[in-house]
Amino acid sequence: RKTPVALQEDGSYVISTYRELTAILHNPHLSSDFRNLSHPLAMSEGRTTPAFINLDPPEHDRLRRMAMRHFGPPHTPGLVTGLEPALTDTVGSLLDGFADKEQVDIVDEFAYPFPVRVICHLLGVPREDEPRFHRWVDDIVNSIDYNPETDPKEKAENGVRANNELNQYMSGLLEQRHGRPGEDLLARLANDDGPEGRMTDDEIVSTAHLLLIAGHETTVNLITNGMLTLLRHPEVLHRLRNDPGLVVPLVEELLRYEPPVHIIPWRAAYSDITVADTVIPKGARIVLMLASGSRDPQRFHEPDRFDPDRQDNQHLGFGSGIHLCFGGPLARREAQIALTELVRRLNRPRLLTDPPPYRRSPVLRGPIHLHIE
């Protein structure tokens, strides 16, 4: 509160309050382009086009619009409604696997496999290739965490290899779809002659890659953070079991109270930007503490209280401004179905380790295991 914009020793600026975060996220001089930054996420070799999350206007806007023609509103509600049976079936079959087990790991056995299956289904990845997808996503996500027990060089190499293999694999899927219109996202993007022309193959591969990475671990964490929070608030768990409609405001409150994306460390100032009377000089790195903004006492009453009845819950869980998450409707529905069914099907679940072990990530926050009995 005392220092909403804090200069760090390395010359970067950390922003942590709601008002300042919202202001800078809407500032046209804030850049997301990796080519202005030295960040490990920038390492994907063999990819000439960065994904649009790492681009600025006008390139960002063009690619986002072209992807949104198939994925974003107004398509998302239809897309999510169409997916509803697949989401419920996947959740049901994963939960069937819990039968007869005395203990389960909610991460390994449920929250992790669920969103991968959904994204593979959306992109049109054949079922038998899902385990390979799983491994690539693992290696890419692990390559940017801080775990001191793993070798950073080996992790970085694995990350680069996984990025390249995933891109090659996706290029192969895309080749099969040229000239063959179909329902999956790759087929739609490959055959779309929209008002802005077609995406190049490279752009489609980057977009597919982005959807996979942006939509996977984030959703895993939302479900896992959600289950953990419910186990710590048994009165809310009980309410949800008797009133499934509570899940909608509950997921919003989770996105505020235990958001998967804590920090966005990859922004830069295009030109001088003034925030809260501080001038951030051109070229400086800017670190956005989204989770801190969502617990700002100037904006949220009793911010450290988990309150699914909270009104006017404009959290920063999906960011804000031109890069606002466009997978939000899908992620919300995945988490809503997952939590409703977990609570319905688990009889008196009990947390075995509290706090559970967490991934050491510069961006994401969520347990790597959540053992219950």
Residues 124 to 183 in contact with ligand HEM, rule: CB under 6 A: none
Contact between 330 and ligand HEM by CB under 6 A: the answer reads yes
Contact between 323 and ligand HEM by CB under 6 A: the answer reads yes
Contact between 264 and ligand HEM by CB under 6 A: the answer reads yes
Closest to ligand HEM by CB, 189 vs 264, is: 264
Query: Rounded to whole angstroms, how far apart are CA atoms 193 and 189?
Result: 9
Contact between 289 and ligand HEM by CB under 6 A: the answer reads no
Q: Which of 124, 226, 293, 327 binds ligand HEM (CB under 6 A)?
A: 327
Contact between 214 and ligand HEM by CB under 6 A: the answer reads yes
Contact between 261 and ligand HEM by CB under 6 A: the answer reads yes
Contact yes or no for 243/345 (Cβ under 8 A): no
Q: Is 59 helix (H, G, I), strand (E, B) or coil?
A: helix
Q: Which of 95, 140, 331, 368 binds ligand HEM (CB under 6 A)?
A: 331
Burial 274-293 (b: 16+ CB within 10 A, else e): ebeeeebeeebbbbbbbbbb
Contact between 370 and ligand HEM by CB under 6 A: the answer reads no
Q: Kindly report the three-state secondary structure assignment for every residue of 235-259.
A: HHHHHHHHCHHHHHHHHHHHHHHCC
Q: Which stretch binds ligand HEM (CB under 6 A): 160-168, 178-186, 208-216, 349-357?
A: 208-216
Contact between 318 and ligand HEM by CB under 6 A: the answer reads yes
Contact yes or no for 286/292 (Cβ under 8 A): no
Q: Which stretch binds ligand HEM (CB under 6 A): 91-99, 177-185, 304-312, 316-324?
A: 316-324
Q: Which stretch binds ligand HEM (CB under 6 A): 96-104, 160-168, 318-326, 337-345?
A: 318-326
Contact between 260 and ligand HEM by CB under 6 A: the answer reads yes
Query: Rounded to whole angstroms, how far apart are CA atoms 17 and 15?
Result: 6
Closest to ligand HEM by CB, 143 vs 294, is: 294
Q: Which of 30, 144, 227, 325 binds ligand HEM (CB under 6 A)?
A: 325
**Please, what is the minimum distance in Å from the beta carbon of residue 79 to ligand HEM?**
10
Which tokens go with 315?
A: 């959290």
Name 30's bridge partners. 269
Which tokens go with 120?
A: 């593979």
**Please, what is the minimum distance in Å from the beta carbon of residue 127 to ligand HEM?**
18
Burial 241-267 (b: 16+ CB within 10 A, else e): eeeeebbeebbbbbbbbbbbbbbbbbb
Contact between 219 and ligand HEM by CB under 6 A: the answer reads yes
Contact between 31 and ligand HEM by CB under 6 A: the answer reads no
Contact between 251 and ligand HEM by CB under 6 A: the answer reads no
Q: Which stretch binds ligand HEM (CB under 6 A): 134-142, 187-195, 217-225, 291-299?
A: 217-225
Q: Which of 303, 317, 366, 367 binds ligand HEM (CB under 6 A)?
A: 317
Burial 309-340 (b: 16+ CB within 10 A, else e): ebeebebbbbbbebbebbbbbbbbbbbbbbbb
Non-local (6+) Cβ contacts of 266 within 8 A are: 32, 34, 37, 39, 41, 54
Contact between 218 and ligand HEM by CB under 6 A: the answer reads yes
CB burial class (10 A; 0-12, 13-18, 19+) of residue 96?
A: exposed
State in Å, rounded, how far the first CA of the chain is from the last one.
41
Q: 32, 1, 29: which is closest to 276 by C-alpha?
A: 1
Contact between 211 and ligand HEM by CB under 6 A: the answer reads yes
Residues of this chain that bind ligand HEM (CB under 6 A): 32, 52-53, 64, 119, 210-211, 214-215, 218-219, 222, 260-261, 264, 317-319, 323, 325-327, 330-331
